[in-house]
Amino acid sequence: MSDLLRMTGLVSGLDTQSIVQGLVSAASYKTTKLKNNQKKLEWKQESWKSLNSKLYSFYSGNLSDMKLTSTFQMKKATLADSSIATAKASSNAVHGSQTLAVHQLATSGYLTGGEIKKGDTLASASTTLGELSDDFNGDGEIKINVKKGSGDTDASYGTVTLNKDMTMAEVAKAFGEVGLNANFDSSTGRFFINSKESGEAANFKLEATDDSLGKTALETLKLIDDGTNGAHKIEGKDAEIELNGAVFKSKTNTFDINGLTITADKESEKLGENSWKQTTVTVSTDVDGIYDKIKGYLKEYGELIKEMDTLYNAADASKYNVLSDEEKEALSDEEVEKWEGKIKDSLLRRDDNLNTIINSFKNAMSSTFEIGGKSYSLSSFGVNTLGYFEAADNEKGVYHIDGNADDESTKSKDDVLKKMIGTDPELVGSFFSKLTKGLYDSLSNQMKSVEGTRSFSKLYDDKRLKTEYDNIGKEITAQEKYVSDLEDRYYAQFSKMETALSKLQNSTSSLTGMMGG
């Protein structure tokens, strides 16, 4: 519509604006229809984006895992005494029982300093080294070496340099700067210093660099564990376990040995000088883990196939047009949402791309494979769809596991799948990896980029939809200009008519005046 301010119908008395709007109504309706089509296309893009996100998550998650045979080689480790340690078994752990004893747990080097006093009161974080002793009345540096490890070693955390003006908080910070955790607690008047990691190699030892000020500083700060000043040091040490008679050490309490990850929690009962009470670690097939993996895959598959069938089989909503702003104002928010919901639910009805994906899902899951000279399908493992009249609408492609305690429709049946996992996990793994690889490969092919039509990782023609959306936008712009130009033309014609009527009126008035009327 033109932005010109028009004064019309002043002479003729006609409602020019209404007449013009009536004359351009057909052209305006076309604009409205184009905008409605563009809005529906926008909603269709959003619907596809949402569905594609779910499908890609399934493709890169459950489906990707299920095609790997290693997924079905899950094993579990069970300890006779679970208070001693926990254990996890990888797929290459050896089946059977092994003996285990925990000799010692890993610890971090930890020094709790003695109580420091300034006169009769506890030192605070702001107390300086010089205030604690007159021995530090010079301006020289006081150096303390922090050695690393246990026993005699050349390894070092570094050298801590102090002076008489440093506060207890600053002293703690200086120890922290060489790689230790250090804090001064004003409430107890003590230093707390520990290594950041556990194990013998991370242990620490404080040593003065000379026989005078450095040693005096350690004594003043109550950091020497000599049984006289209240300090106490726990040495950092490695964890040590005995597995099948062999001794293993680790700087942490976790050990990775031949497919087993063992985390020591408590030292075993010591029976003698070099003897500890043994417990057993039993490695076996993780039947429940494999079962839950298949169950999770089928659950996600079922949710997707149900959603896709629902979208594809949606009711026709062609009679529902996008509401105008005026129409929305006349309805409640709930009524607007319900109206628009009918349109949105139908946008992928009978969609060709969606039909292709649905067929890929259903064809892959109905596949049969020969393994060890015998043919197997999902039904061989007690996995089936419900009967035609038993399944709910749009759930005829959903699979159910016989005996699944969480499935009301099949929980009373014999659990064939779990039994087969327990007796022949290799067969189960071989079948399901083949089955899911077929679907994975099919989706991979559909997700390839197509110039001008589809982007990589998309299962719908996102580029084509965008082009259609942009083209409609161009049509809307052109149509709006056409309507505006048409209005201008009609208004110009009415303006000429008004001018002519005005001249005629003036002439008539003059003639009447000359005749004395």
What is the tens place of the pLDDT at every residue in 476-504?
888 888 777 776 676 667 667 766 676 77
The per-residue pLDDT for 186 is: 96
The per-residue pLDDT for 98 is: 97
Average pLDDT over residues 390-404: 95
**CA atoms within 13 A of residue 91's CA, in its CB half-sphere:** 12
Which residues 6+ apart lie within 8 Å of 266 measured at CB? 83, 84, 85, 102, 105
Q: How far apart are CA 332 and CA 340, in angstroms?
A: 12
The per-residue pLDDT for 1 is: 47
CB–CB of 99/279 below 8 Å? yes
Output helix, strand, coil percentages for the chain, rounded to the nearest 5: 45, 20, 35
CB–CB of 87/77 below 8 Å? yes
The per-residue pLDDT for 427 is: 97
SS3 426: helix
| Distance from the Cα of residue 212 to its chain's centroid | 59
Q: What percent of the chain has pLDDT over 70?
A: 89
Residue 167 β-bridge partners: 128
471 pLDDT more than 90: yes
Average pLDDT over residues 161-188: 96
Helix locations, 61-107, DSSP H: 62-66
The per-residue pLDDT for 479 is: 80
Q: How confident is the model at residue 150 (pLDDT cuts 50, 70, 90)?
A: confident
How confident is the model over 338-387, as pLDDT tens digits?
999 999 999 999 999 999 999 999 999 999 999 999 999 999 999 999 98
Q: How far apart are CA 282 and CA 94, in angstroms?
A: 9
Cα dihedral: 480, 482, 487, 490 (round 10): -170
Q: How far apart are CA 501 and CA 259, in angstroms?
A: 102
Query: What rounded mean pLDDT belongs to the chain?
Result: 90
Average pLDDT over residues 430-442: 97
SS3 167: strand
How confident is the model over 198-247, as pLDDT tens digits?
999 999 999 987 667 899 999 999 999 988 889 999 999 999 999 999 99
Q: Beta-carbon neighbour count of residue 504 at 10 Å?
A: 11
Tokens 């997707």, residue? 304
516 pLDDT more than 80: no
Tell me which residue of 434, 454, 436 sits closest to 446, measured CA to CA.
454
Of 90-94, 136-140, 249-253, 293-297, minimum mean pLDDT range: 136-140
Average pLDDT over residues 10-24: 61
DSSP codes joined into one string, 245-287: TEEEEESSSEEEETTEEEEE-SPPPEEETTEE--EEEEEEE-H
CB–CB of 394/314 below 8 Å? no
The per-residue pLDDT for 247 is: 97
- DSSP structural state of residue 386: P
Q: How far apart are CA 218 and CA 203, in angstroms?
A: 18
The per-residue pLDDT for 444 is: 97
Residue 275 tokens, joined = 């003897």
CB–CB of 388/396 below 8 Å? yes
Q: Beta-carbon neighbour count of residue 459 at 10 Å?
A: 20
458 pLDDT more than 90: yes
More confident residue, 29 or 393: 393
- DSSP structural state of residue 107: B
User: CA–CA distance from 53 to each of 48, 356, 445, 453 (Å)?
Assistant: 8, 17, 17, 18
How confident is the model over 103-131, as pLDDT tens digits?
999 999 999 999 999 999 999 999 999 99
6 pLDDT more than 90: no
The per-residue pLDDT for 5 is: 41
Query: Of all helices (H) and strands (E), which one includes residue 101?
Result: strand 96-104
The per-residue pLDDT for 503 is: 73
Average pLDDT over residues 31-43: 89
Average pLDDT over residues 264-287: 96
| Distance from the Cα of residue 335 to its chain's centroid | 35
